[in-house]
Chains A and B, each alone.
Chain A
Amino acid sequence: MKKLELSTSTVLPNGSGAAAILSAGIGAFMVGFLAVAADKSAFLKNLFIFYKPTGPLSGVTTSAILVWLIAWGILEGRWRNRTVALGRISAVALVLLGLSLLLTFPPVADFF
């Protein structure tokens, strides 16, 4: 049986991965943040009705996805070939992800 192992000697810079992780944290956070914002503000609730049958959920999620993809594009462009402080960036991304979980939980969102 022919089993190949490709070389792992060429270590890719971590910037591209850091960009993906941080932007995913930002995107996830925006889902929670915009959901709370739309729930608390009648103006934003109306503004986020991109598709009437779905209501504000359409605008909240579409906007969060756009922020995520734009952030990913910008960070990828800046960090693609760089080695960055991944530990700190991962910590920020995971905090944003944790906050997104909290903000989407209705009893927590009701505190605002």
Chain B
Amino acid sequence: MEITERSLSTLIHGMGFGALYLLACSGALVELYRRYSPAEANPLAPGDENFLKVYLVAMSVLAWLTVFTGAYIIYPWYRAAAPVGAVNLAAFPQRLLLSNAATSGWHSLGMEWKEHVAWLAPISITMAAAVVIRYGRNLRNHPQLRAAVLCFTLVSFLAAGIAGFFGAMLVKNAPVEGGRNLHLMHGE
């Protein structure tokens, strides 16, 4: 069982950071909605509150790691220019997708959207983390602030979902391959 270095990097970017961020979004939305509702009568324990702050900071770190690894490690491999006259485009995913009308949309719509919309996620969740750190339980006194933070968190979820969906489809149609082969285990 082998995996190339570039495949492993793509896996860390998509599954390690991106998918984990998407999973974390639902928890953040539920907790932001539930804990800081003005109608919520239950007291907030400091430990509980600190947990959410750490959770949102961890989400911000994950979101930034996802976009930076995507833009500065994976994307250059994806958009690498093929030599003139190259017939085998397997090492040039963007060129491979654009070479066929049946797959070109995965680049012209999918990658073109994904590469930009993904950045809304770290901006939004960093803002949410900063507001929760600054206000904490005081958010119960600021329903408009809480509503705005929830909207931004929801959009960050949506943006990460769009990027994740197209990332998965791009890998399916034109995987980023190359680099050394890493042996994971020997077959029978």
Interface size on A, residues (CB 8 A): 44
Interface residues of A (CB under 8 A from B): 3-6, 8, 10-12, 14, 16-18, 20-21, 23-24, 27-28, 31-32, 35, 51, 53-55, 57-58, 60-61, 64-65, 68, 86-87, 90, 93-94, 97, 100-101, 104-107
Q: B116 near A32 (CB under 8 angstroms)?
A: yes
Interface size on B, residues (CB 8 A): 42
Interface residues of B (CB under 8 A from A): 43-46, 67, 71-72, 75-76, 79, 108-109, 112-113, 115-117, 119-120, 123-124, 126-127, 130-131, 134-135, 137-138, 140-142, 144-145, 147-149, 151-152, 155, 158-159
Would you mind naming 24 contact pairs between A and B with Cβ atoms under 8 Å apart?
Answer: A4-B43, A12-B135, A12-B138, A18-B145, A20-B127, A20-B130, A21-B145, A21-B148, A28-B120, A28-B124, A31-B120, A53-B72, A53-B75, A57-B116, A61-B67, A65-B123, A68-B123, A86-B144, A93-B148, A97-B151, A97-B152, A97-B155, A104-B116, A106-B112
- From the candidates B46, B109, B116, B123, name the one contacting A4 in the complex (CB within 8 A): B46
